[in-house]
A and B are shown apart, each in its own frame.
Chain A
């Protein structure tokens, strides 16, 4: 069997294992979904009117729903990948990983299985949060099929990038608690992005940080695709962040996995 065929076959076996875990023990994934959904409802129904006035949309919360949903879709990915870090860290303490290491299988398949499984979970989570958004009044204005595809591609690529980073975080964490703590930036960063309020509304010294961290360009791009707002250079920055983080996370994770286990 060629190396590529081996990699594909073993990775799909590992993916089946991870999906089996996720299907049988869905509580972690569902718990992580609660954060973005709660925030969505909180900001729309409790703060919505005020926020809407703040972004110049008048005292009708529908303008703020449109503003908020793209950011929360990306936050959902950040939240889901915390689960990735936890489950990778948990998995590494299992004896079966040692068994995998002594088998003539494609070395990276253990991690690739986790990554693909997590990206699929991220997409499902995004769809669920998106459905809640639609249910409370979010509507995409005149997005073309191409823009929908681009939006889907961006979300997938963003999930892939964050997942590889989360896998690395899971591998360096000695236990699930540490993994959960180490992965906190993935849910913390959206709070200081343009997800909830425009970057212009933040203190001047903080604006560059908020503007160029990974979430803001991706959020602005998604807004542009779904709502027709100005994307500008955000598209390229978002793409660069996604590819950069994906490559970094991949290198970091595989190097870490190739080291002798303790």
Chain B
């Protein structure tokens, strides 16, 4: 049995009469990436704030790195690194000074501090901007500096709150690469995201948080199986071809106005080939074919429907 880096049980938090977390359980094995997936206001940031000792929970217990949040917050702090949603860099001083500040606060010697600062700035492609004030950095650079600062103390557990929100596609891919490299060193990562694609790319396990509750959890594949949103869409311009296709594919949903068919599919190559084979055999040529994989919308529509109308989910 591997140890759990993070184990939270029935976490609760409310602000006034608004319940933000309503009994959340989280279990993250050591050395894995765990994604907390949910829309804005689901409680992701609150969960990260509680687990990183920034705020206290109203109820529930949690151990992080084997230390209890409530009784040993300082021991928890010594094992974690946190990169919050809003950049936690000091904009008034340079990137290098920010890094040296972290080194001092981790009580590294002057030489060690200089060395790790140079290493991390190089690794995160910030060496050229090291002497410029952090307030002049672009969004992607700030986020990279933020993570570099988090890594100064070599934390075993890292919290990343929406690490790619607001980044352009290239910066996002760079960030994904950085996160993957972190776990190869045995570090545990808990990240939050609003993108299923991102959770899918990175996470070993995903928990979907909705209205302060865990709506579903599992591996990315397990989660996607819960979601019926994946389909292939065929669109026609010729009504005759559309009708022939509709009778050839009895399982498809019809959209008569757009002359389009939706065929449920997981988007795999095998299912796509078998569909194309059937179309070829029947001599049908669609004007447009798009593969639609489940996205967060589908996950949420499906999961919230499950919660609200349990009977309708029986298929």
Is residue B92 contacting chain A, with contact meaning CB distance below 8 A? Answer: yes
Interface of A, secondary structure class, is helix
Structural contact, A94 and B77, CB atoms closer than 8 A: no
Structural contact, B93 and A20, CB atoms closer than 8 A: yes
* Known A-B contacts A95-B87, A96-B90; A260 and B77 likewise in contact (beta carbons under 8 Å): no
Structural contact, B93 and A21, CB atoms closer than 8 A: yes
| B-contact 0/1 string along A5-36, CB 8 Å cutoff | 00001100100110011001100000000000
Partner of A104, one of B74, B98, B149: B74
Interface size on A, residues (CB 8 A): 23
Structural contact, B90 and A13, CB atoms closer than 8 A: no
Structural contact, A261 and B93, CB atoms closer than 8 A: no
The number of residue pairs between A and B whose CB atoms lie closer than 8 Å in the complex comes to: 61
Which of B101-109, B177-185, B236-244, B292-300 lies at the interface with chain A? B101-109
User: CA A161 – CA B276 in complex, angstroms?
Assistant: 80
Partner of B77, one of A9, A21, A25, A102: A102
* Known A-B contacts A1-B107, A103-B105, A105-B105; A20 and B97 likewise in contact (beta carbons under 8 Å): yes
Closest beta carbon of chain A to B150's beta carbon, Å: 8
List chain A residues, Cβ under 8 A from B105. 10, 13, 100, 103, 105
Is residue B10 contacting chain A, with contact meaning CB distance below 8 A? Answer: no
Closest beta carbon of chain B to A25's beta carbon, Å: 7
User: CA A16 – CA B113 in complex, angstroms?
Assistant: 15
User: CA A10 – CA B89 in complex, angstroms?
Assistant: 18
List chain A residues, Cβ under 8 A from B91. 94
Is residue A233 contacting chain B, with contact meaning CB distance below 8 A? Answer: no
Structural contact, A102 and B80, CB atoms closer than 8 A: yes
Interface of B, secondary structure class, is loop
Structural contact, A99 and B149, CB atoms closer than 8 A: yes
Chain A residue at minimal CB-CB distance from B97: A20
Is residue B88 contacting chain A, with contact meaning CB distance below 8 A? Answer: yes
User: CA A197 – CA B58 in complex, angstroms?
Assistant: 56
Partner of B53, one of A9, A17, A102: A102
| A-contact 0/1 string along B188-223, CB 8 Å cutoff | 000000000000000000000000000000000000
Structural contact, B52 and A102, CB atoms closer than 8 A: yes
Structural contact, A99 and B84, CB atoms closer than 8 A: yes
User: CA A13 – CA B152 in complex, angstroms?
Assistant: 16
Lowest 7 CB-CB distances: which A-B pairs, in order? A95-B88, A99-B88, A104-B78, A104-B77, A260-B55, A13-B104, A102-B82
* Residues in A lying within 8 Å of B, measured CB to CB: 1, 9-10, 13, 16-17, 20-21, 24-25, 94-96, 98-105, 260-261
Instruction: Beyond A99-B149, A102-B80, list 6 extra A-B contacts (CB 8 Å).
Output: A1-B107, A9-B107, A13-B104, A20-B92, A25-B92, A261-B54
